Structure formats: C-alpha cells, structure tokens
Amino acid sequence: MRFINRGLELRLLDQRWKEDKPQLMVIYGKRRVGKTELSIHFAQGKPHIYFLCDRTSMHKQLQKFTEMAGKYFKDEFLPSDGFKDWVETFKYISHKKEKMVIIIDEFPYLAETDNAIPSIFQKIWDLYLKDSKIYLILQGSSIAMMEKTLLIHKAPLYGRRTGQLLVKPFQFKEIMEMFPDKSFEEMLSIYSIVGGTPLYLNKFMGKSYMEAVKKEILQKGQPLYEEVEFLLREELREPRNYFVILEALSLGKRKLSEIINETGFDKGMVSRYISILDSLQITRKEIPVTEKIPEKSRKGIYNIDDNFFNFWFRFVFRNRSFLEEGRIDKVIVQIQRAMPALLAQSYEKIAKEILLYAFSRHKISLSFEFYGRWWDKDKKIDLVATNYHRNEILFSEVKWSNKQVGTNIYDELKKKAQAVEWGKKDRKEYFAIFSKSGFTKDMLGSAKKEKVFLVHKDVLV
C-alpha cells in the first residue's frame, strides 16, 4: 500500500526525533488506519528496529527480537535462544549508546502474554532508557487495551510517556486529495462505502466505485468480504450478539427501544454491548447538540460511526446467501437503490468539515465550540453550531437532491430555528445551506441580502 498524507503526524514524530533526549511515544488507533505505515515511514533513513508482536509465547517473541537485534548490531554472540527477559534486552541495547528508533507494534499482544509487561517496561524506562538516546514507540490497535496499559492515570507507564498520537481515519478533504481525478459525487460514494480508512481507500484506486465494490467487497475470497467479521472476532470474545445489534443499527434502528425490539435483547444487554462498541469507535451515541447536560439527556440515538461497518452489515452480512452463490448482481441492485440515501447521510456527516474549511479558506472569522444535529419531536436540523461565549448559533440544512434549493427550504429552516431554545435572549443567528444541485435565483438573491452561507457541493458560493 502506498503511503499517503499523514504530514501532521510525521512532523510531530520528526520534531521529537530532533530533540536531544529519549522518547517514549504511544501511537494508537483503530485497525487498518495506517499506524504501522506511519511509524515505518517515520523510521526510514533512521537507525531503527521494527518488531511486530504476536500471540506466541513470551520466549518465542524474545527469541525473535534477539535475532533482529543481533542483525542490527552485527553481534553474532547474542544468545541463540534469545535474551532471558525484556529488561536484559533493553539493558543490552541501552549500553550501545546509539541514537535509534525502536518500534514495538501491537504492544497489547505482548501485554496479553504477560500481565506484568506494562510494569516491566516501566522498570526498563526507569533503569535504562530515561537517560539513553532511544526513541521507543509502543503502538497498538486495541484502543481499550492501549488505554488500560499505557494511557490511563493508573497505568504504570502513564507518567513516563513523552507523547501520544491517536491516528484517525482520513477526513473527506484528505480523501479528495487521494482521488484528484474523480468527481465530488464519486468521492462521496467511496466515502459512504469505506469511510476514511486508508487500506480500504486504496482498493478504489484506478477503479469506479461500483467496480471496486464488486471486486473487493462482494466477491467471496477477497479480504474485505470477511474483513468486518475478522475485526470483530479480533476485538471481542463473543461477537455473535454484537453482530445482531450492528445489523439492527445498519437497518436504521436508532433509538434504544427500537434496537431492543429488533434484537429481542433486554435493555441492560443492549446498553452494555453498545458501550463496548462505542469504546472501539465502531458506534457512537448522538445527543442533540444544544442539550445542557448531554449525559442525562433522554434523546440519545445510536449510529454506526464507521461507514464500512455500516455498509458491510447492510449489504454483505444480510446477503451472505446470495454472495456465497456468486449472485453479486442481486446485491448490486440493492446498493444502487440505496446509494442516494447513503450519499445524503454522508453529505450531512461531512458538512461540518466542509464549512470549517470554507470559513478558513475565505478568512471568515466565525468560530463555534460545538457542532452536531438538533432534533425535538417531529423537527430536525441537519447541522447546528454554537458558541456559548459569544451567544452565537448557526443553523444549516444539508440537501442531497437533484433539485436546486429554493427559498422555501430557507424559510422552513428559519421556522425550525425558532423552536431551538438555546441562547434565545439576544443570540446572534447565522444560516447555511448545502446543496448538491445548486440554488435558485431567488435563493441566491435572498442569501446575498440576508448574508446566508450557501455551499454548492463543497464550494462556498
């Protein structure tokens, strides 16, 4: 896979390399997001050892690491059966007094093998690395395990790390940079299917999005055909019940009561499983953005936050019978029918990013603290942004339609805005409308007169 973007992350890692002191960097993030490519790319041209942990015994892992260290230092006298423990390993490396990078990838696998590993690495740092020239990177995909062993206050290495980096999926703007020859609609289609995960995005290089879906996702035997099932089995001990909940969410069951009715699980079970899925950044609980105490709000709804998980459960998981028989065309018909709605959801999802980029590019001084949807009973606003300190609020409608947006949409948005209680007294209101197909002459005239922000696809009009 070719290395793309990550300029900000690389600059941070390089900046720490230039500092004349040891480093203990923690790099973490979801599987497939590009952590390994990032750390290896950073280490290129620098003296380094890259070691990928696995689920074999500690003895085997020490043996493999010893072999790598022997090759790096050209030391044929290292014990053939490996160092006796990790403390001895790093004692040997630190005595070399070299400035070098050591990457230990999938560190949670090492911690699974021995619960004392975090404490052992604390000892290693305190005894040998804190006064060395070693740039140690500990990285892993199990976010919950990385937090437990490295990042929470009680973790042994909490006070020792010199930096941490959460590697996130690409934003839509970065995806656009990956596909400069594709139209906005085709890029939004790709994003709707696989989100911002670099490994998945690479499967769409040089193909139309539907061709890639046929060949890379719906084809039995291809990695992405089994991908979601594999990832869930890696992270969860009993994934079967999670599959049922994720399928319900992919079918549009958003409220807790709807998920309970669809799955037949009790409230406590659903809440517990969704909490775990949230911690894995697969699902997300959404609260109306203007709620004063979000954690106590009863208006919460649930979504699959990972686009590829949503797509896979809706079209692969539910159609396994067709796909196992090779009847891909049956599923393609379903996808084609569903794409307009998927695109509309994704356009709404990226509206905040588009707006922030437009404000920055056009040097518009507005800034907001919170962004999100708002709803109450039968009313819904696609994007609301608030600034508590300045008592400013922005209301946005996001339309993915083949019709131009007219003044009727704007008038309706203003009416709905009056139902929002936030900052009512003396608040300053702003309005923005996003449209796939542009705007009518009347709407363009009203926007100019009333200073409404109009965005055609991703361009501020």
> In angstroms, rounded to a whole number, what is the distance separating the alpha carbons of residues 2 and 226?
23
> In angstroms, rounded to a whole number, what is the distance separating the alpha carbons of residues 299 and 287?
6
> In angstroms, rounded to a whole number, what is the distance separating the alpha carbons of residues 235 and 410?
46
Q: What is the pLDDT of residue 2?
A: 54
Q: What is the pLDDT of residue 231?
A: 93
The model's pTM: 0.91
Closest CA to 373 of 383, 363, 365, 364: 383
Q: What is the pLDDT of residue 4?
A: 65
Give the 3-state secondary structure of residue 43: helix
Q: What is the pLDDT of residue 442?
A: 98
> In angstroms, rounded to a whole number, what is the distance separating the alpha carbons of residues 351 and 76?
59
Give the 3-state secondary structure of residue 433: strand
Domain architecture of the chain: domains with CATH = 7-166 (3.40.50.300), 172-345 (1.10.10.10), 365-460 (3.40.1350)
Closest CA to 428 of 380, 388, 381: 388
Label residues 9-35 b or e (16+ Cβ within 10 Å = b).
beeebeebeeeeebbbbbbbbbbbbbb
* Ranges of residues in the chain whose predicted pLDDT is under 70: 1-4
> In angstroms, rounded to a whole number, what is the distance separating the alpha carbons of residues 454 and 253?
32
Q: Report pLDDT digits (tens) over 214-251.
A: 999 999 999 999 999 999 998 888 899 999 999 999 99
State what percent of residues in the chain have pLDDT above 90: 87
